[in-house]
Structure 1
Amino acid sequence: MKEYAGGVRALDGVDLTIGAGELVGIVGPSGSGKSTLLHIVGTLDRPTSGRVAIAGHDVARLTDRRLSALRARHIGFVFQAFHLAPGLSAVENVAEGLFYSGLPRARRRALAAGALARVGLADRMRHRPHELSGGQKQRVAIARALVGQPDLLLADEPTGALDTASGGTVMELPHALNDEGATIAVITHDTEIAQRLPRQVRIRDGRVVADSTRGKVVL
């Protein structure tokens, strides 16, 4: 459960397990609790009550420092707004995702180049964000999230800032990456996007009201 001041429950009785190698769509309208769920799953926030386990670690038992290390090692984030540094090239932006890894700069750049190639941007490595389309910027953001080889990739409204054509191209990536073994959760308000994913979890009023793998539907 996640409760805010004034007794507002953003999440209430959510029971969700995402297994290794799954591709999941978490879908719900604005205010349904899906963004709160993203923050809880991504360890950006802690629940008011209940247990959250990531890669076998009980989040509640970790100090803030150990929690940050867990997040850096096991979780990659992709946000709607891209969050790319405007003065850096694509490869430099992706390499920033490894800044706290302890790896030398040359190794970080080599891994960044590989991640960009993986998302189809091998020919855009030296381009800065203003030289890239919206879809290409999102691919850079995905590469940055993947470069550290996290156990879980969380994508929050990854097509929200894109036109339909660019969004469709970007959404081909989760399927391709999942085929390679990546575990991915896509948080979206778009039911069409969610329906294209192997598993759909529907959130409403802070509760899971449907889960396609369990045949669960709550009216």
Structure 2
Amino acid sequence: MNGPCPVVELRGVSKVYPGRVHALRGVDLTVEPGELLAIVGPSGSGKSTMLHMIGTLDRPSGGTVRIAGYDVAGLSDRELSALRARQLGFVFQQFHLAPGVSALDNVADGLLYTGTGRRARRERAAAALERVGLGHRLTHRPSQLSGGEQQRVAVARAVAGDPPLLLADEPTGNLDSASGTEVLAVLGELHAAGTTIAIITHDTEIAAWCPRQVRVRDGRIVAEMGSEMGAEMGAEVRAEAGVPIGEGGGREA
């Protein structure tokens, strides 16, 4: 019996912007269910463009992008929106929370386009906030929350619909070290519970925390490797959550 298909498959993916700016050059990447990886590189390396390809926020100039087995080139804009709603959750450096709205309704509003009724949306939002350790802050507005708590609300909004893949773009970029550690702990727990997570970052310490690192430069993947520190930390999180510990590995590209 064949196993589950990869969550992400990029094959020969390129992206050329006007002015012949080559943001991606023949990128091959496979992400299997349950992975925790960092896509890491300096500013201008192409990692954010790769996020846009994986998140179906932009279409490639060449090559193939498959998400959960779907070739995005064959999907209409409406079908792409539906795929994103079912398969993907997004966390960005900016929290993008509505200032006059409670944490509960900020998360619930993220489910507006799923066709779920208001009561069910709020129930799922409350459960998501519990998952990120904010069950006691449901009625608080963003101005009443710390930066780390606001980012955890953003994470809760991203996972309220139980997407198989969470894309986090510099999720600790606006946080102090203590708040950043809190957010990484939440991501680690979500991963231990089965969510596939890709973190886009320029921070080598965050990259080292992940069991798999994909290094990008000048629009190409220049190296893939495992991280002993990431494997050990991931093992500790899984053990605490009662999740079986898998074996990590390293690759050079």
- Which interval holds the TM-score relative to the shorter structure? over 0.9
Q: Supply the AA of the counterpart residue of 1:105.
A: R
Counterparts of 1:30-69 in structure 2, within 5 Å, are 30-69=43-82
Tell me the TM-score normalized by structure 1: 0.97
Asked whether 1:184 is paired with 2:220, we answer: no
Aligned-partner Cα distance in 1 for 2:187–2:115: 28
Q: Supply the AA of the counterpart residue of 1:121.
A: L
Report how many aligned residue pairs link the two structures. Answer: 217
Q: Supply the AA of the counterpart residue of 2:115.
A: G
Checking the alignment, whether the CA contact within 8 Å between 2:212 and 2:250 is kept in structure 1 is no
Asked whether 1:194 is paired with 2:194, we answer: no
Asked whether 1:118 is paired with 2:131, we answer: yes
Checking the alignment, whether the CA contact within 8 Å between 1:10 and 1:206 is kept in structure 2 is yes
The C-alpha deviation readout for 1:72-126, integer Å capped at 9, x for no partner, is 1110000000100111100000001110111110110000000000000001010
Asked whether 1:102 is paired with 2:102, we answer: no
Aligned-partner Cα distance in 1 for 2:109–2:117: 12
The C-alpha deviation readout for 1:121-143, integer Å capped at 9, x for no partner, is 00101000000000000000000
Aligned-partner Cα distance in 2 for 1:151–1:56: 13
Any stretches of 5+ residues in structure 2 without a counterpart?
Answer: 1-13, 226-248
Aligned counterpart, 1:215: 251
Q: Percent identity?
A: 64
Higher relative contact order (CA 8 A, sep 6+): 1
Aligned-partner Cα distance in 1 for 2:190–2:83: 22
Aligned counterpart, 2:241: none
Asked whether 1:141 is paired with 2:177, we answer: no
Checking the alignment, whether the CA contact within 8 Å between 2:65 and 2:72 is kept in structure 1 is yes
Residue 151 of structure 1, CA deviation = 1.3
Let me know the Cα RMSD of the aligned residues: 0.8
Q: Supply the AA of the counterpart residue of 2:202.
A: H
Checking the alignment, whether the CA contact within 8 Å between 1:201 and 1:211 is kept in structure 2 is yes
Aligned-partner Cα distance in 2 for 1:144–1:183: 16
Q: Secondary structure at the match of 1:215?
A: coil
Aligned-partner Cα distance in 1 for 2:85–2:116: 14
Residue 169 of structure 1, CA deviation = 1.2
Aligned-partner Cα distance in 2 for 1:29–1:96: 34
Aligned-partner Cα distance in 1 for 2:51–2:92: 11
Residue 179 of structure 1, CA deviation = 0.6
Aligned counterpart, 1:78: 91
Q: Secondary structure at the match of 1:13?
A: strand
Checking the alignment, whether the CA contact within 8 Å between 1:23 and 1:174 is kept in structure 2 is no
Aligned-partner Cα distance in 1 for 2:218–2:78: 32
Asked whether 1:173 is paired with 2:209, we answer: no
The C-alpha deviation readout for 1:3-53, integer Å capped at 9, x for no partner, is 011111100011001110000111101000000000010000000000000
Residue 214 of structure 1, CA deviation = 5.1
Higher strand share: 2
Aligned-partner Cα distance in 1 for 2:184–2:82: 29
Aligned counterpart, 1:159: 172
Aligned-partner Cα distance in 2 for 1:49–1:122: 45
Tell me the TM-score normalized by structure 2: 0.84
